[in-house]
Amino acid sequence: MARTTASAFLSILLLSAETAAWGNLGHTTVALIAQSFLSPQTVNFTQSLLNDTSSTFLANVATWADSYRKEPGGEFSGVYHYIDALDSPPASCDVDYDRDCPEEGCIVSAIANYTTRVQSSNVSFAERQKALKWIIHFVGDIHQPLHVENLAVGGNLINVTFEGASANLHRIWDSDMPEKLIGGYALEDALDWSSSLLEDIKAGGKYANQSSTWLTGIDVNDAIASSMHWAQDANAYVCSTVVPEGQEAVEGKELEGEYYDAAIPVIQQQIAKAGYRLAAWLNLIVTGQTGVGGEYVSLTRPAWKRWEDGKREVQLEDWMVEARRVRRAFGSDCGPAGHHH
Ligand X SMILES: *[C@@H]1O[C@H](CO)[C@@H](O)[C@H](O)[C@H]1NC(C)=O
Residues that bind Zn ion (CB under 5 A): 21, 81, 141
Q: Examine residue 113 and tell whether it contacts ligand X (CB under 6 A).
A: yes
- Cα separation, 202 vs 216, whole angstroms: 18
Q: In the annotation, is 94 catalytic?
A: no
Query: 166 pairs with which residues across the strands?
Result: 161
139 vs 228 by CB, closer to Zn ion: 139
Segments in the chain forming alpha helices (H): 3-15, 24-35, 40-50, 64-68, 97-100, 107-119, 125-141, 151-154, 169-171, 177-182, 187-201, 223-237, 258-287, 318-330
Smallest distance, Zn ion to C-beta of residue 64, A: 10
Q: In the annotation, is 170 catalytic?
A: yes
Query: 341 pairs with which residues across the strands?
Result: none
24 vs 113 by CB, closer to ligand X: 113
Helix (H, G, I), strand (E, B) or coil at 226: helix
Q: Which residues contact 211 (CB under 8 A, 6 or more apart)?
A: 201, 272, 276, 292, 294
Query: Given 99, 170, 229, 327, which residue is catalytic?
Result: 170
By the 8 A CB rule, do 285 and 115 touch? yes
Smallest distance, ligand X to C-beta of residue 319, A: 18
99 vs 186 by CB, closer to ligand X: 99
Q: In the annotation, is 147 catalytic?
A: yes
The listed partner (Zn ion, ligand X, none) that binds 44, CB under 5 to 8 Å by sort, is: ligand X
Query: Given 84, 96, 100, 174, which residue is catalytic?
Result: 174
The listed partner (ligand X, Zn ion, none) that binds 81, CB under 5 to 8 Å by sort, is: Zn ion
- Cα separation, 286 vs 275, whole angstroms: 17
Q: Examine residue 336 and tell whether it contacts ligand X (CB under 6 A).
A: yes
- Name residues contacting ligand X, limited to 49-88 (CB under 6 A): 51
Q: Examine residue 159 and tell whether it contacts ligand X (CB under 6 A).
A: yes
Among 105, 184, 205, 244, interactor with ligand X by CB under 6 A: 105
Q: Examine residue 184 and tell whether it contacts ligand X (CB under 6 A).
A: no
Q: In the annotation, is 84 catalytic?
A: no
Smallest distance, ligand X to C-beta of residue 242, A: 17
- Cα separation, 298 vs 65, whole angstroms: 30
**What sign has the CA pseudo-torsion 105, 111, 116, 122?**
positive
Q: Examine residue 124 and tell whether it contacts ligand X (CB under 6 A).
A: no
Q: Tell me which residues are annotated as active site.
A: 22, 27, 66, 69, 81, 137, 141, 147, 170, 174
